[in-house]
A and B are shown apart, each in its own frame.
Chain A
Amino acid sequence: MQKKAGPLFYVFLFVFVFLIMFPFLWILLSSIKPLTELFGDEAFNWFTSHPTLKSYVSVFVNYPFLKYLWNSTVIATITTVYTVFVAAFAAYAIARLDFKGKSIILGIVLSVSMFPQIATISPIYMFVKKFGLTNSYLGLIIPYTTFALPLSIWLLVTFFRKIPFDLEEAAKMDGATPLQTYFKVILPLAVPGIFTTSILVFIAAWNEFLFALTINTAENYKTVPVGIAMFQGQYTIPWGEISAATVIVTIPLVIMVLLFQRRIVSGLTSGSVKE
């Protein structure tokens, strides 16, 4: 129901946004506090009177944080590009071509996307170990296929289905083969959908934890989530550095979300809403 929003509504909105953002806000404020103000009575002060960037410097100097960022970027990018590429063909066939076993295939894709990671980890771990792929980029890209590929197919199918079927008919009339239709007609129209899918797959790969935790254990091959989680030592937890690192990974995310929010929302909701 579309009705106008009153002032009370904006108060509610403000409280809602504030509650959601509060943890980030607090981490941001903590990241510029000097270490001594993270503990004791001063820990609860909102604003520090001695802002410092020491924690930020420490993240890059004392931890291979840049390496973590690089590893995550490489792994997530390659995973995204290759799975979306492979999935696009399958999704096209499922969405636009007529063949038997379609719903079975889609059913398999959907069930695989529901597989708990823990159920595949032991054989995958033994596999990467056997082929010497632990602590390598490939060692994570292969297991990431387990969730990235079903996700890509699922999203792309819904996007491909939205493209008007008349276009295909017209192309067929003009004597185009299905492959020509795919490359010349469908693919250009599907670019927004492919882009949205890529964003979601990238985020999923970037955030993955369990495989990264078990397969890439060497400092030089850790990804961001595992790297930050492992900042905590046996007895001490370097909260200053953790706050700074969290802020560093959150900022690009915020920018990305601000830029692509419409696309992300359309991707997230495409599988769940009947239109």
Chain B
Amino acid sequence: MKNEKKSERRLAYILVAPSLLLILAVAIWPVIQSFYFSLFDYRLNNPAKSALHLDYSLNLERYLENYPFLMSALKQEIAQATDAEKEQLESLQEKLQQVDEEIRADKEAAKRYEQVDEILNNFEVPSEELKIVSIDEEAAQHLTKTISETKQTLKTLNENGQLKQGDKLTGLANGLSGAVIEPNFVGLAHYKNYLSDSRLWKALWNTTVFTVISVSIELVLGLAIALLINKAFFGRGLVRATILIPWAIPTAVSALMWKFLYDGQNGIVAKYFADIGIINDMSELLTTGTGAMFAVIFADVWKTTPYMALLLLAGLQTIPSSLYEAASIDGATKWQQFVKITLPLLKSSILVALLFRTLDAFRVFDLIFVLTGGGPANSTETISILAYKVMFSQTNFGGGSALAVIVFICVAIISTIYIKILGADLISDRK
């Protein structure tokens, strides 16, 4: 019997393992990486910052494409130079040689140096991993200093017309200057910047307004609808199907649909709203901040109230009708029945529905991205939209990741609060 238990347990772990590993690899690991990215000045459009560098490093490809040629050009120049320049050039040559030796003093760097040199001599392209070698800070700073000194001297000499191959020399020196890669580790600087940036607080505020208003309206309306349709009637299936359609349609598509209905010139909903006086002018819906926020919330309420009603209806149906019968025999009014029976028994259904809806609303992206793009003037820009824009429009992956981590933390806080209220109900065995 004990053996059986053991083998059952082993089987269970084997069965769970693939799912757990996948979840770890595609969901948990990326979140950890997001946090790591957020500590760097990580920009895809800037070659020196398109990878994460904790230390100073040297782009050997860049270095070796310039250094040897610069040295040989210097040598030629020295051979033809007059005494005054000769001295200057020789000193440059000496300094450059010195830093080159300094770089190669490191064993690993020296090895890679040879490898990359050989690859370049064969007119091939070295791999990203091979060509970037980390060097110590002192050597890196010395190198940077020497290169800029070289650049300066050559530039002055060239401007005075004292060089035979002036343009070539300055060109090579310039090429060399991009070889040193500074660490782009910035620690918590992104967080510090964003947390003191009014745009982030505006986005957080927008997200909160959107979440609180849309979820409360959805809850009240959803509960009302659920109470009303919680009875036997003809055409139940049809109503249920109707309810499911807004939920099932892609959010992006429904957002586009609403954009058409809200249109300032040809939108039918905008026209009706203007006719009944909710708005003064048809164009107000998408061109003013308040109008756009209202439009976005309205579209969200349309899409998810039915879903909310469905969840609550399922909860209502588990309440035994005998309770209501007993209550009405005791002379309880409808309202008393609702407060004393329905609400307490529906509590966990309501909380679960609220949890999922709050999180969904807080993460909102598709709806607003398509409907308003966050505008006008960032008045509907939520935190997810802001993070997306920073990442993909400004190609600032470091900053964007910091914002993404902020979204993650907010979501974690919200779920913790709900789960505290719900207790362990949510994951306990239900039989």
Residues of A at under 8 Å CB distance from B?
1-5, 9-10, 12-13, 16-17, 20-21, 23-24, 26-27, 30, 38-40, 43-44, 86-87, 89-90, 92-94, 97-100, 103, 105-112, 114-127, 142-143, 145-146, 149-150, 153, 158, 161, 165, 178-179, 203, 206-207, 209-210, 213-214, 224-226, 228-229, 231-232, 237, 239, 242-243, 246, 249-250, 253-254, 256-258, 261, 264-265, 268-269, 271-275
B278 close to A (CB within 8 Å): no
In the complex, residue of chain A having the shortest beta-carbon distance to the beta carbon of B348: A274
Question: Majority SS of interface residues in chain A?
Answer: helix
In the complex, residue of chain A having the shortest beta-carbon distance to the beta carbon of B350: A272
Q: Which of B11, B29, B425 has the most CB of A within 10 A?
A: B11
The answer to whether A145 and B12 have CB atoms under 8 Å apart is: no
Name the A residues within 8 Å of B84 (CB-CB): none
- Report the bound CA distance from A121 to B408 in whole Å: 12
- Report the bound CA distance from A243 to B268 in whole Å: 14
The answer to whether A4 and B232 have CB atoms under 8 Å apart is: yes
Residues of B at under 8 Å CB distance from A?
5, 7-9, 11-13, 15-16, 18-20, 22-23, 26-31, 33-34, 37, 225, 228-235, 237-246, 248-261, 263, 265-266, 268-269, 271, 302, 306-307, 310-311, 314-315, 318, 321, 324, 348-349, 352-353, 356, 359, 362-363, 365-366, 369-370, 384, 387-388, 391-392, 397, 400-401, 403-405, 407-408, 411, 415, 424-431
Q: Which of A92, A124, A158, A257 has the most CB of B within 10 A?
A: A257
The answer to whether A273 and B260 have CB atoms under 8 Å apart is: no
Q: Which of B256, B321, B392 contacts A229 (CB 8 A)?
A: B256
Q: Which of A13, A21, A121, A207 contacts B404 (CB 8 A)?
A: A121
- Report the bound CA distance from A143 to B27 in whole Å: 8
- Report the bound CA distance from A114 to B253 in whole Å: 23
Name the B residues within 8 Å of A271 (CB-CB): 352
Name the B residues within 8 Å of A43 (CB-CB): 265-266, 268
In the complex, residue of chain B having the shortest beta-carbon distance to the beta carbon of A228: B253
The answer to whether B265 and A158 have CB atoms under 8 Å apart is: no
- Report the bound CA distance from A104 to B415 in whole Å: 16
Q: How far is the CB of A115 from chain B (nearest CB, A)?
A: 6
The answer to whether A92 and B404 have CB atoms under 8 Å apart is: no
Q: Which of A93, A206, A210, A224 has the most CB of B within 10 A?
A: A93
The answer to whether A246 and B29 have CB atoms under 8 Å apart is: no
Q: Which of B252, B353, B430 contacts A161 (CB 8 A)?
A: B430
